[in-house]
Structure 1
């Protein structure tokens, strides 16, 4: 229970507000109960003028007329001071006598009253002589006790009212203060979990409302920034993967190229050594010099391909595309490689649509087509066919080169 109270702001605000309201109401009640009997609007000294007047008038009347005058004095005193004071008369022995006949002793003495509750005594000697009395004005203790009794009787009802009001006030205050804070807390937890889709709805314009609006703005900006960052990371990862793939292909290519270069170099070296030392068949230098020249030409082509690839990998290389009639390019490369096809005894079947236009680098495209045609010729047995098709569909140029007699396992 204590742990739940400590962990919930709304519960803490509820109990704090409940205790504060209950404490304020209780202190107010205690102050009223304690000080209400003593906060009269009149002071005892103000009533002494009437006490002196009453004493003077009583001294001028006989005892048998006292019952007619004293009630009038009581009424006058009650009207002027709202019943806060009453008349008290004591005999010469200091004992209180009953009003208005002055013939019965109540049993109380002057010493039984607090000094602050009585005015100073005024001597009263009745006209027909007899005993001498003292007239005093005293606070009405009965009225004080009525106030205290009324407060005591109202204590249970007031306690229930205070409790109900305190609970309602605490509930409303805790809801009003903590409801927007709960929304802010939920949104901040979503943001901590990298979820920026939530918003904190509020219509308040105070500091909590400003905080909610600022948190919404922060969430939106962080969400947009995170989305951009994720897209950038995906693009970067794709670029890295592509670069790695290109690097692998580059390594594989240079490995294969090194192997391809080694073969003609070995052939040329062997032929040159044989012709230099005139060993066996290599005595016929003219024949093998021609073969060496042919091998050198192939080697030159391979070196040119390596240079082209190296140039393409150069960061400063500029790719300059231009409009190209792709159908005419294929026709031209077929004518260029016609002797190769004749040497290999291959038949070329072509189906080339006219007016097939593309945009690209002419020299690079020529190398690509020459490589494709050269591979088709190199790996096709004699007497087979090479079928070349060129057409345009969906605003794209299509090229297929198919050789018969062999297949990729």
Structure 2
């Protein structure tokens, strides 16, 4: 990725390493100043020429290994799309101004690919280091090994980049699955006969778009409303799968049992047989709107908030037991009942709305009560948005608002 404000042509020119840029046909595209100085040729003498036309073989070099070794290295780059090093390599250079006069010289080149968006080789960067003096001194191996290690490091960095690209592709596919799960398991609430419900869901920052939080709003066969929220430990697809099973189980149970506590009893027994479900928290409420009565039971979950029209906020905390599966043996759960006035607002939520790291939960509850009292007159959809502003970015949050 190019950073704004960086002149890469100037960087290329200023590099102390001698470098050529070749196209896949080995035609010279550019040569930096260090390269021109090293080989004694100007850019005009190089750019646009095939590299082996610019550097013909020395007819007096009977081995002729220079061009062969260089061409083999360049072709390996095209085939493998990875850096390649050759050397020590004798490649005599025709002396400037003296046609047919070749100077014996030794090099250790590194050829590295520049890939396009499709992963094909768009260009080859040819970095050249002269080791003539080292070879003549009889100890070329140290220089050669240093350059070889540099090429190996470059290759490893390319491999790491390719791994990261595959990880990004896998994450993108997982996100698509997450979005499908979210849509299937956390739908918009159905239309209720006399009241309006609004829901909001926000995954933690850096999490997928699904997690372990859930909500459920249902009109029961009796005409009463069932409103529930829950929170499975963990994030990602594994927690989402457990969440989906528990949500469905509780939604089914509340339809066939008499009240929130028996529904959570059944969910507790089910959670003990489901991997990843232990320590889940949940709260189940049933709103009997004709009698203006709310019956509720909680399995270790933060208490629902009930805001009266006059701004008084009560927390429904008189029927709270440990999370699902937290006790050695199953114990029947308690339930409690309260009444409400017309125009009251019931809010169920998960702990991401109130908890902060290093802060007592009571402070979060007070913050919620004050925010709810201040904004209680808003329509449910707007109130849900206002409440979501309290949520911590580091935790998942689900909110249900029901205007009574």
Answer whether TM exceeds 0.5 for this pair.
no
Scaled by the length of structure 2, what TM-score is found?
0.23
Which structure has greater strand proportion? 2
Which structure has greater helix proportion? 1
Scaled by the length of structure 1, what TM-score is found?
0.23
Which is greater in Rg? 1
